[in-house]
Structure 1
Amino acid sequence: MPRSRQPNRRRFLQTVSAAGAAAVLPASSDRIFAADSPNERPVFASIGLRNQGWVITQSALEATDVVALADVDANILGATAEKMVNEKNTKRPDTYKDYRSILERDDIDAVLIATPDHWHAKIAIEAMYAGKDVYCEKPLTLTIAEGKLIEKVVKETGRVFQVGTMKRSQDNFLKAMAMIRGGRIGDLKRVTCGLKDFQPSPSIPVADVPKGLDWDFWLGPAPKVDYRALPEVREGYGGGVPFHSNCHYSFRNWFAYSGGKMTDWGAHFVDIGFWGIGEKQTAPIEVTPQDFKMGCEYKDGYPVPQDRYNVATTFEVKVDLADGVEMIITSEGDGGVLFEGTKGRFFVNRGKLAGKPAEDLASNPLPDGAIEEVYGGPHTPNHVVNLINSMRSREQPISDVWSHNQMLEICHLSNIAMRLNRSLKWDPSKREIIGDDQASSFMSRENRKGFEIEM
């Protein structure tokens, strides 16, 4: 990666120093939008456009001007630009294969990042040093160390950073939080997070890289490997790509790029569970895998075959928390969260809020302002708009990096525990695994040469 194009900490600090002590933030934060005019439409760009990338780009178009797009797949890059013109009646955005071309622009206030997980930390950190606020899809990180680094850069640069755990902006989950805060189930004792399972893959052979895809750039920080795919095409959400591959959509099933259902859906439902418990009041102290199955054979924490999915396909993990509340993370049952307290229990997911405490809302509704109190202000179901409001106030949004990382550390620890098939003890104050050097080695990873995060 050419150093001259790399936004970094040195350049950021030089910018701040040159501007004087009063200019704490880089140049784009001084734009009229953020500083003075609540009616000014901010200028956004999207990096990573497939599936959720298009979803959040559409959400942003409600209140922003999206002027640039970046993706390493020329097919999805061109198709997304056309959709913006034809379906959303907007001016055709500028398009780039290399996201750094977006970061170099002074007219962009914020970036939306929806790349595969292994790219999140690098792009987000470089964007902050380039003076951009950030919306980054969940799960935010591939490792615990990346989360700590992102927190450091958010604090150093003063950027506003929204994580894409958009269930924090959805009605059912806000009602659930208000019910817990209002004592509707008494003292919380147990939280069960259902994430759903998935099927292991057959052997996936080496295949030709699809035309238009820059495979080396897609891999980026991850190790250099061959592209793999079977010919069957996926239907529905994520359609138009191979059902089994180590790339589009299926990247979630390989530890080199993601963390399986544990981090993909855990970033939603473990987040809601931990939010209900109260992330400021508690922390994990031990993670114990009780029953699980990996997608392939493992040795010393690493997959033996390289030709198939390698994350956990089914699992049940027990998480002991410092205040005595127990959390269970399971692939069984419906996707959602079951909260159990001393006075009752209820289940919540995007389409359901069920149980007697929920039924009682008909005769005993939540008090006025309860949702706003949970949300920290006026509620918007558009998670991107919550970022925009936070950009105006320069306060962190509903899904801030600190609460997200505290929750996601549980998911990362659960994956490490399953890879090694043993319980892990956690020091929440130091954010370290206790007495297990081998497990601790999985808390970070080395980026491939040429794709390092320059600090």
Structure 2
Amino acid sequence: MFLRSSAMAAAGAVTLRSLHAQTARIKSPNDTIQLALIGAGSQGQGDTRWAVQVPGVKLVAVADCYDGRLAHSKEVWGNDLFTTRDYREILARPDIDAVLIATPDHWHKQAAVDAMKAGKDVYLEKPMIHIYEDGPEIIKTAKETGRILQVGSQRVSSVAYAKAKELLASGAIGKLNSVSARWDRNSSIGAWNYTVPLDASPETCDWPRFLGSAPKHAWSAERFFQWRKWNDYGSGVAGDLFVHLFSGTHFITGSNGPTRAMATGAIRYWKDGRDANDVLQALFDYPEGFNLSLRVNFVNGGEESEGFLFTGDEGTMEIAGQTVTVTRVPHEKEPGFTVGTFTEAMQKQTTAEYRKKYPLTHPEGAPQQTVQKFAAEKGYSDSYDHFKNFFDSVRSRRQPVEDATFGFRAAGAALLANRSVEKGTMVHWDPVKMQLG
């Protein structure tokens, strides 16, 4: 449900049905989707809690490189849960229909490709890629195997973002000319300083398996549990947070992505050995005729914040959480005039000529509505809807809203920021061919 309030008109309410109720089940409710989790960190376990709330879904297996997470998974989802350090044991099981992949970024491609080749449908956490070469291989494998692959940027399943898409398409703010977005944080945990368990060791953690294709490095509990701080395993704030902002922008505007980018960033505060920047700002040009500016600041001294501002030639549309606010600024009916520096005679003459062309009129009718606010009902979760979307696709075999191509375009655009910072120059991208310029 979505509620709407107006600042200028009488308050009213409209209801939008969430995806909870929109999509009819294709198969019998007795058909249970057997799900496995690959990567049981905080994101993976959090995702799973939403996933198993969808009717007809059961978690049956978990893979992770830390024994403590495997043990905790049994505490949460039952002792009959199959657990392993090696996700290939999960893929070999014929009773598993789909996998939820929430590994470090550098494992995304390999785990997803292996899963699809093993006949499993895939929910793949964002960013879809760690390096650009990952994208074409994931897309190719999805097409060749016919498996469903949905990327986990849940905003594209949000009723708020669907409303924003509808409003923009209807001309609510006129022609779009710019979008600005931010995702700032103001906490140590927000800056990826996740707690390292007291029993962390090479015995309880499968360090070689964690490293995978990453450069070899001596055992490090910090790298294992706080992997986002290093580019060997993560994609920085661009891959963690910019990609959400790109997913939202592309979903709402219908764009395939930007054509060029320029970014700047650095480690401004969290100088703790990490090599991923804690402040990143970037500008992007879109072929549809608008610019996008993005900012992530882990040194933000104020409140943590996430949001968008879409600016058109007739107003603005702001998204904050699950609310959308449209503010319209009516165009002036006349161009106006500036005569103050002219002689008094010329001022009178110019004003008189202007008023012949634009005579003064008394306003008639009700005041024009200038502000509308839409808000999802209390308790709404786009995470639930995103998993509902995925499992509906698993049953119907219809492609989800955030398939591999969408996911590559969002992640590819996001990683342009990292590339620009590394090169110290503007970088180019073909959003249709999904290729670097």
TM over 0.5, shorter chain: yes
Specify the SS of the correspondent of 1:356.
strand
- 1:346 is matched with which residue? 317
- Give the alignment partner of residue 45 of structure 1, picking from 36, 46, 55: 36
- Runs of at least 5 residues in structure 1 that lack an aligned partner in the other structure: 1-33, 86-90, 230-244, 297-304, 367-378, 435-455
Residue 148 of structure 1 and its aligned partner are, at CA, apart by 1.3
The code of the aligned residue for 2:28 comes to S
Residue 352 of structure 1 and its aligned partner are, at CA, apart by 4.1
- 1:82 is matched with which residue? 75
Cα separation, 2, equivalents of 1:247 and 1:399: 29
Cα separation, 2, equivalents of 1:222 and 1:433: 23
The residue correspondences of 1:261-340 to structure 2 (distance < 5 A) are 261-280=237-256, 283-289=257-263, 291-294=264-267, 308-331=273-296, 334-340=305-311
The residue correspondences of 1:172-187 to structure 2 (distance < 5 A) are 172-187=160-175
Residue 211 of structure 1 and its aligned partner are, at CA, apart by 4.6
The code of the aligned residue for 1:220 comes to G
Cα separation, 2, equivalents of 1:254 and 1:127: 26
Cα separation, 2, equivalents of 1:42 and 1:228: 37
Bigger radius of gyration: 2
- 2:114 is matched with which residue? 126
Residue 163 of structure 1 and its aligned partner are, at CA, apart by 0.8
The residue correspondences of 1:413-452 to structure 2 (distance < 5 A) are 413-434=416-437
- 1:221 is matched with which residue? 213
Residue 295 of structure 1 and its aligned partner are, at CA, apart by 6.6
Specify the SS of the correspondent of 1:194.
strand
- 1:194 is matched with which residue? 182
How many residues were matched structurally?
Answer: 350
- Give the alignment partner of residue 48 of structure 2, picking from 50, 54, 57: 57
- 1:16 is matched with which residue? none
Cα separation, 2, equivalents of 1:156 and 1:399: 18
- 1:31 is matched with which residue? none
Residue 59 of structure 1 and its aligned partner are, at CA, apart by 1.9
Cα separation, 2, equivalents of 1:252 and 1:380: 22
Specify the SS of the correspondent of 2:265.
strand
The code of the aligned residue for 2:397 comes to R
Cα separation, 2, equivalents of 1:431 and 1:169: 23
Which moves more between the two structures, 395-404 or 379-388? 379-388
Cα separation, 2, equivalents of 1:355 and 1:182: 12
Specify the SS of the correspondent of 2:316.
strand
- Give the alignment partner of residue 209 of structure 1, picking from 201, 208, 216: 201
Residue 425 of structure 1 and its aligned partner are, at CA, apart by 2.1
Change (3 A) 1:36 1:175: closer
2:306–2:321 CA contact under 8 A, matched in 1: no
Cα separation, 1, equivalents of 2:255 and 2:240: 20
TM-score by length of 2: 0.73
Q: Deviations over 1:101-128 (max 9, x none)?
A: 0100111110111111111110110000
The residue correspondences of 1:134-153 to structure 2 (distance < 5 A) are 134-153=122-141
The code of the aligned residue for 2:170 comes to G
Cα separation, 1, equivalents of 2:397 and 2:96: 16
Confirm or deny that 1:253 pairs with 2:253: no
Which moves more between the two structures, 167-176 or 41-50? 167-176
- 1:8 is matched with which residue? none
Residue 331 of structure 1 and its aligned partner are, at CA, apart by 2.2
2:317–2:326 CA contact under 8 A, matched in 1: yes
2:61–2:83 CA contact under 8 A, matched in 1: yes
Which moves more between the two structures, 211-220 or 108-117? 211-220
Specify the SS of the correspondent of 1:123.
helix
Cα separation, 2, equivalents of 1:38 and 1:279: 36
The residue correspondences of 1:15-30 to structure 2 (distance < 5 A) are none
The code of the aligned residue for 2:77 comes to M
The code of the aligned residue for 1:340 comes to T
- Give the alignment partner of residue 59 of structure 2, picking from 47, 56, 66: 66
Q: Deviations over 1:121-174 (max 9, x none)?
A: 101100000000001111111012101110011111110111111122223222
The code of the aligned residue for 2:94 comes to D
Change (3 A) 1:214 1:339: same
2:156–2:251 CA contact under 8 A, matched in 1: no
Residue 429 of structure 1 and its aligned partner are, at CA, apart by 4.3
Change (3 A) 1:308 1:176: same
Residue 285 of structure 1 and its aligned partner are, at CA, apart by 1.6
Specify the SS of the correspondent of 1:106.
coil
Residue 418 of structure 1 and its aligned partner are, at CA, apart by 0.5
Change (3 A) 1:348 1:210: farther
- 1:13 is matched with which residue? none
Change (3 A) 1:224 1:189: same
Cα separation, 2, equivalents of 1:256 and 1:324: 35
The code of the aligned residue for 1:104 comes to A
- Runs of at least 5 residues in structure 2 that lack an aligned partner in the other structure: 1-24, 329-368, 376-381
More strand per residue: 1 or 2? Answer: 2
- State the percentage of identical aligned residues: 31
- Give the alignment partner of residue 395 of structure 1, picking from 393, 398, 405: 398
Confirm or deny that 1:97 pairs with 2:97: no
TM-score by length of 1: 0.71
Change (3 A) 1:162 1:213: same
Cα separation, 1, equivalents of 2:201 and 2:113: 29
